[in-house]
Structure 1
Amino acid sequence: MDSLVITDACDANEQLIESGDIRILPPIFQMYGKRRAFSGRIVTVKVFEENVLVREFVASKGHGRVLVIDGGGSMKSALIGGILSNSARKNGWAGIVVYGCIRDVEDINGCDIGVRALAAHPKKPKKTGAGERHVTIRIGGAEVRDGEWLYADSDGIIVSKTELSV
């Protein structure tokens, strides 16, 4: 992310926020990873307490995109850890937002990627392969659509229908 500041983007785009073209995710996420600010086109995946689809995405080329994982807000297991965050970094993902938990916090914090998650949890996820790709998801009442744009910094996370200028 070059220098887009979330607070400035919100101040400059109040009409787009009112219309729903820009949505602000609820302030429920913890910050992990070395990148405190990141942005990119969104790729969505919906899973519940399992991460086979997540593993497939981070193993593919990210091209500066952001993976948004709807884990249903579950606090019963982690959806990514150090291995997957490092895979995402190596494959060019800008960041990962997890509506659920992560693990291997020290490994993730040492990785040059931006990660947001609800909390850390030591239990690994199941490996069933269940889930959905490229679907519209809801996080705290805010819709997140595959192909939209996500911007994250220390002040929060916003999602926009279109790319915002820096």
Structure 2
Amino acid sequence: MNNISTADLYDKYESEIQVLSPIFNDYGKIKQFFGTVFTVKLFEDNTLVREILGTPGQGKVLMVDGGGSLRCALLGDNIAELAVKNQWSGIIIYGCVRDTQELKNMPIGIKAINHIPVKSIKRNEGQQGLTLNFANAVIHQGDHIYADEDGIIISTDSLSV
């Protein structure tokens, strides 16, 4: 499945999926992406984001629950470069990004709720593999996520159109 359509997937699997609230903006060059969810929960500290995106991510989408904070960015161009290098399919952040001019040219899907120039603090805090709950969805590590310009959907099973 190279081109995905969340609208078509919704029509076919309406009763089997969750749709995230339309609060996310696109920041990466890739607008349509999908993969297996890898979850992270943290607050204003992107140490774990950097650590995870520094590992092989082929076929995965990193879901970051940053508590919806608008006070600092959890992803910038340097960490996004790590994600591209390690072949992550995408990154979705319930929080902010920065370096938007650089991010828009990077061949990866990136969605976040907003952007701000402020960098995060570094306390080496955060947890991975947790069930997340934001944007009116419950997201489990290992779920399947599909994102495009229309929105983001989550499924426990892999979907095909």
Give yes or no for TM over 0.5.
yes
How far does residue 6 in structure 1 lie from its aligned partner after superposition?
0.5
How far does residue 4 in structure 1 lie from its aligned partner after superposition?
2.4
- Residue identity opposite 2:73 in structure 1: A
Please say if residues 4 and 33 of structure 2, whose CA atoms lie closer than 8 Å, have aligned partners that are also in contact. Answer: no
Structure-2 residue corresponding to 1:84: 79
Q: 2:138 aligns with which of 133, 136, 143?
A: 143
TM-score, length-scaled by structure 1 = 0.94
- Residue identity opposite 2:145 in structure 1: L
Aligned: 1:48 with 2:13: no
Q: Distance in 1 between matches of 2:112 and 2:70?
A: 11
Aligned: 1:120 with 2:124: no
SS of equivalent residue, structure 1 residue 165: coil
How far does residue 15 in structure 1 lie from its aligned partner after superposition?
2.4
Q: Distance in 1 between matches of 2:20 and 2:30?
A: 19
- Residue identity opposite 1:33 in structure 2: G
Identity %: 42
Structure-2 residue corresponding to 1:102: 97
How far does residue 64 in structure 1 lie from its aligned partner after superposition?
1.9
- Residue identity opposite 1:38 in structure 2: F
Structure-1 residue corresponding to 2:14: 14
Q: Distance in 2 between matches of 1:141 and 1:157?
A: 11
Q: Distance in 2 between matches of 1:141 and 1:7?
A: 18
Aligned: 1:160 with 2:160: no
Q: Which moved more, 1:39-48 or 1:136-145?
A: 136-145
1:51-66 equivalences under 5 Å are 51-66=46-61
1:2-41 equivalences under 5 Å are 2-16=2-16, 22-41=17-36
Q: Distance in 2 between matches of 1:137 and 1:2?
A: 27
* Moved beyond 4 Å, runs of 4+: none
Give per-residue Cα distances to partners, 1:45-92, cap 9 Å, x unaligned.
001000111000110000120000000000000000001111101101
- Residue identity opposite 2:115 in structure 1: A
Structure-2 residue corresponding to 1:19: none
SS of equivalent residue, structure 1 residue 13: helix
SS of equivalent residue, structure 2 residue 56: coil
TM-score, length-scaled by structure 2 = 0.97
Q: Distance in 2 between matches of 1:47 and 1:36?
A: 25
Q: Distance in 1 between matches of 2:76 and 2:64?
A: 13
- Residue identity opposite 2:14 in structure 1: E
